[in-house]
Amino acid sequence: MAIFKSKAKSDNKTTAVDMTKGFIPKLLLFFCVPLILGNFFQVLYNTVDTMVVGNFVGKEALAAVGSTTQIINIAVFCFNGISVGAGVVIGQYFGAGDLKRLHISVETTMAMTFIASIFFTALGVAGTPLMLRLISTPDDVMDAAVIYLRIYFAGISGLLVYNMGSGILRAVGDSKRPLYFLILSSFMNIALDLLFVVVFKQGIAGAAIATIISQFVSAALVLILLSRSEDIYRLTWKDMGIDMPILKKILAVGLPAGFQSMITAFSNSFVQAYINNFGSAVMAGWGCYNKLDQMVMLPLQSMGHATTTFVSQNIGAGEERRANHGTFIAVSMIVIFNFCAGCLLILLARPAVEMFSSDRDVIESGVSFIRAISLFFMVNGINHSLAGSMRGRGDSNGPMVIMIVCFVFVRQLYLFFITKIIPNDPVVIGLGYPVGWTACCITELIYFKIRHLDGKHLLSHKEA
């Protein structure tokens, strides 16, 4: 750790955070809160699109935006999985004090991001109609959905570059400055949404254009920060290139995580396909639920990222018992929070849906979904914290297999049989989500105990 101390600890201006020492709940909370706020503002992009379109364009346009969510998630989750791999590798080098490999990892990560951005843009723009047909998008929604999705994919590189750049910062414990960039770009998105949709009357296309402009701004800001930083994770453009051994390490963790997230989103699109059979009002109600679901899931996802960073740094520093204890604390914190959040959302379900639409059928549908599913959020919180801990150790295959089996096969079996037994109730379709979450939670707990805790004792409170 001598190199690490001389370079990072002596620099009073460093924004990196060493999570191998200190009170664990405080470290997780202080890291997690800016991340929650940052994720909130990122989700706010699409949520504002939904609210503006639902209130100023119409029910069909609202259904169109809602129907594109899972398709967008397939691409974004796949890439974000790779960013998890990059964060684990960078976090472990940071914890070990290996500044040379940390520097090479940053350059490799960003070079890979620019290449991936070209691929996702081309694939998304060309494949939009096919993807929408695969999820049984109704004819009255199809044209608007094609317009929104194609514009979104045309500018998706801004989102990918921002996510990877902020992932680098999070890997060394800096979750604050990405938040500031997201706050700025989110308020810009709100202003541009109102300008393009309400003032210029550009409809659903205006909402998509506002989103991609704002995403490009956040990407530019994070690139400027990484390029001008004097800290240990500085991005040096002349050194940019692909280091194959490090790329293989990144992909060894990131590809399983990305594949798992992509397949899960793909499975969610099948839920959307079942929902689409009930018409635009139910589609819009389901879309409203999904936006609120994303909001409540933010602490869950953020704690998963915090756990990955915490565990990767401690594993890199050889502190495995501390990594285990931090995992237990993270799970406890997120279960308590999501139980409270689920109860609150059930109580406020109707006014929450009314923010998106004034249509009576849409409101009734959205409220039904929220009240049936919300208490299961705490189960999914366990999933994300445990998966984050395992990925921080470099074990990405375990959570990938478990989540694919539970979120895809178990969920699809449930949907297949429940639609034969109860064919005309959209709420039982929505329950496909918690069925997959619960199966995953039980399986992950067993796997984590056997694979990562068997024979290993947790720290005492004094050691923590």
Q: How many domains does the chain have?
A: 1
In a domain, 32, yes or no: yes
In a domain, 319, yes or no: yes
Contact 113, 95 (CB under 8 A): no
In a domain, 6, yes or no: no
In a domain, 2, yes or no: no
> CB-based burial of residue 170 (10 Å sphere; 0-12 exposed, 13-18 middle, 19+ buried)?
buried
- The rounded distance, in Å, linking the Cα atoms of 268 and 207 is 24
In a domain, 7, yes or no: no
Q: How far is CA 68 from CA 124, 161, 301, in A?
A: 12, 21, 21
Sequence-distant (6+) residues with CB within 8 A of 285 are 353, 361, 362, 363, 364, 365, 366, 367, 368, 369
Rg, C-alpha atoms of the chain: 22
- The number of helix segments (H) and strand segments (E) in the chain equals 18, 0
In a domain, 459, yes or no: no
What is the pLDDT tens value at each position of the chain, 464 positions in all?
A: 333 343 444 444 455 677 888 888 888 888 788 777 766 776 666 677 777 887 888 777 877 877 787 788 777 777 777 887 888 888 888 877 888 888 899 999 999 999 989 998 999 999 999 988 887 788 888 998 999 999 999 999 998 999 899 888 877 777 778 888 888 888 898 899 899 998 998 888 998 899 899 999 999 999 999 998 877 778 888 888 999 999 998 888 788 877 777 777 677 777 888 888 888 889 888 988 887 887 777 788 788 888 988 998 898 888 888 999 999 999 999 899 889 988 999 999 999 899 888 888 989 999 999 999 999 988 988 998 999 899 888 888 888 889 889 988 899 899 999 989 998 899 999 999 999 999 999 999 999 998 887 644 444 334 44
Sequence-distant (6+) residues with CB within 8 A of 109 are 83, 86, 90, 164, 167, 168, 250
Structural domain that includes position 270: 15-453
Instruction: Work out the number of other CB atoms within 10 angstroms of the CB of residue 123.
Output: 14
In a domain, 461, yes or no: no
In a domain, 5, yes or no: no
